[in-house]
């Protein structure tokens, strides 16, 4: 009777613990494994050589004579990217689609005699190559005269409605919090914007500095926190109003599930500038970004800006190719064998570990390795707060590395180790850990 009561009590405590911990929504759960996604920054700035247009640019300067969105999306597809997000409207207010709400758009440009629609070409190419599609619609608008008045919110929502109804499924909507120092005061109706996205595209995740679905990683350098919780407390946070250090690391005691997205450009600027053709990040450099974002429980949102002709430039394409070929080489051969649940690439099949309950893996024979990949079944939340990996040196266990959070994925890099056994211990966790995947690898010699 007593033990029945106690085990009932324990079950209740566990249930309460499990229930109170934040978990991803189905849309967040579908988003996280995309891992590598792309940003496409393209507008009048491409022609003025600026990063922020001031809204006075004439639509007549927008003329991408060789525009080929299929070339962009195919390059991304070949490099393993799973989604592309286009700047439908940046801060300058110029619209890459023929919006009914303004004359400041492609319809008054020479490109395709004003009959073109960049958003449509990208959406179609994404569909053709099997990538998800997302839109960026800058709230800050330096062209639209209504900006600064309440009626701008109606303007913005009407544009959002156009984008969300005319281009098929949208997987992400990007709400940029940026606003210049000298910008007019404007009270954005974010609640209204978000409600519209939920109504028209319920499967889309929404990005802003602090969610609702996806948060900013807090920098544009491609660096998620070494400790990176997918949870934060969103109270008091708003687009353009959030502590970047807090966003970078997340919050172990956060009540909302709002995972971090790492947006970073392949070039120094977000838009194409010919002067930066020699400053494109190398494939190796992009691989490092992958470790610092995806490998720290975030998502990589890599910007690849089309040039003035409307094409990806050769150096960018070459780096994207090198990036994927290095990653493929590194992660080709998992040295963990005889652990089907941990190597089937399914988060839903897992091994449950408590804190300080070591998992020892026999690699069969002595192996040489320098990378480890660990994944939690995040459908059940994020639980690991710290852990350790060790190897057997013939006489005892030696620490390879300690780490903090895991979440969707934690990648460890360390100098080459030779051993036939490794041991993984979660030294601190906020509940039972559902260890979903474990990989031990020897890195490609082409990594940094």
Binding site for ligand FUL (CB under 6 A): 51, 176, 178, 263, 270
Q: Which is nearer to ligand FUL, 254 or 269 (CB)?
A: 269
Q: How far is the CB of 284 from ligand FUL (least distance, A)?
A: 23
Q: Which is nearer to ligand FUL, 36 or 425 (CB)?
A: 36
Q: How far is the CB of 426 from ligand FUL (least distance, A)?
A: 35
Cα angle vertex 209, ends 206, 210, to 5°?
A: 75
Q: What does the alpha-carbon distance between residue 103 and residue 183 come to, in Å, rounded to a whole number?
A: 22
Contact 284, 446 (CB under 8 A): yes
Q: How far is the CB of 7 from ligand FUL (least distance, A)?
A: 52
Q: How far is the CB of 51 from ligand FUL (least distance, A)?
A: 6
Residues 6+ apart with CB under 8 A from 140: 91, 147, 176, 178, 179, 180, 183, 186
Q: Which is nearer to ligand FUL, 178 or 379 (CB)?
A: 178
Q: What does the alpha-carbon distance between residue 285 and residue 266 come to, in Å, rounded to a whole number?
A: 9
Contact 269, 52 (CB under 8 A): no
Q: What does the alpha-carbon distance between residue 123 and residue 358 come to, in Å, rounded to a whole number?
A: 47
Contact 265, 227 (CB under 8 A): no
Tokens coding 236: 């008091």
Q: Which is nearer to ligand FUL, 110 or 240 (CB)?
A: 240
Q: Tokens 């929504």: give the residue.
A: 25
Q: Which is nearer to ligand FUL, 316 or 376 (CB)?
A: 316
Q: What does the alpha-carbon distance between residue 273 and residue 69 come to, in Å, rounded to a whole number?
A: 19
Residues 284-322 as b/e (b if ≥16 CB within 10 A, e otherwise) read eebbbbbbbbbbbbbbbbbbbbbbbebbbbebbbebbeb
Q: How far is the CB of 37 from ligand FUL (least distance, A)?
A: 13
Q: Which is nearer to ligand FUL, 178 or 238 (CB)?
A: 178
Q: How far is the CB of 165 from ligand FUL (least distance, A)?
A: 24
Q: How far is the CB of 176 from ligand FUL (least distance, A)?
A: 5
- Give residue number: closest CB to ligand FUL: 178
Q: Which is nearer to ligand FUL, 178 or 443 (CB)?
A: 178
């Amino acid at each position: 009777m007593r033990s029945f009561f106690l085990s009932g009590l324990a079950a209740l405590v566990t249930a309460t613990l499990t229930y109170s911990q934040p978990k991803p929504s189905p849309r967040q759960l579908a988003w996280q494994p995309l891992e590598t996604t792309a940003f496409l920054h393209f507008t009048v700035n491409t022609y003025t050589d600026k990063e922020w247009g001031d809204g006075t640019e004439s639509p007549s300067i927008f003329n991408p004579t060789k525009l080929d969105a299929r070339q962009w999306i195919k390059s991304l597809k070949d490099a393993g990217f799973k989604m592309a997000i286009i700047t439908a409207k940046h801060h300058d207010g110029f619209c890459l689609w023929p919006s009914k709400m303004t004359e400041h758009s492609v319809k008054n440009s020479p490109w395709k005699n004003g009959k073109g629609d960049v958003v449509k070409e990208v959406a179609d190419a994404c569909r053709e190559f099997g990538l998800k599609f997302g839109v960026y619609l800058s709230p800050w608008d330096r062209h639209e005269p209504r900006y600064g008045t309440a009626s701008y919110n109606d303007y913005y929502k009407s544009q959002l409605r156009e984008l969300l109804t005319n281009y098929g499924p949208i997987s992400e909507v990007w709400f940029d919090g940026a606003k210049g120092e000298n910008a007019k005061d404007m009270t954005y109706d974010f609640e209204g914007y978000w409600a519209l996205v939920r109504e028209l595209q319920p499967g889309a995740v929404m990005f802003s500095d602090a969610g609702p679905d996806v948060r900013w990683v807090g920098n544009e350098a491609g660096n998620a926190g070494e400790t990176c919780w997918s949870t934060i407390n969103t109270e008091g946070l708003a687009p353009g109003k959030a502590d970047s250090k807090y966003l970078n690391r997340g919050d172990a005691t956060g009540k909302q599930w709002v995972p971090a997205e790492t947006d970073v450009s392949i070039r120094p600027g977000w838009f194409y500038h010919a002067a930066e053709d020699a400053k494109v990040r190398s494939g190796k450099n992009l691989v490092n970004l992958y470790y610092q974002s995806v490998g720290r429980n975030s998502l990589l949102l890599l910007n690849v800006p089309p040039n003035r002709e409307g094409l990806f430039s050769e150096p960018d394409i070459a780096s994207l190719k090198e990036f994927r070929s290095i990653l493929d080489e590194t992660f080709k051969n998992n040295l963990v064998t005889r652990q089907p649940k941990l190597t089937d690439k399914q988060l839903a099949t897992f091994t449950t570990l408590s804190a300080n309950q070591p998992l020892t893996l026999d690699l069969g024979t002595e192996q040489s390795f320098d990378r480890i990949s660990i994944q939690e079944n995040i459908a059940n939340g994020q639980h690991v707060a710290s852990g350790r990996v060790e190897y057997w040196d013939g006489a005892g266990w030696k620490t390879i590395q300690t780490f903090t959070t895991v979440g969707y994925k934690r990648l460890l890099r360390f100098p080459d180790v030779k051993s036939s056994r490794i041991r993984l211990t979660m030294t601190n966790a906020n509940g039972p850990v559902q260890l979903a995947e474990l990989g031990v690898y020897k890195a490609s010699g082409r990594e940094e």
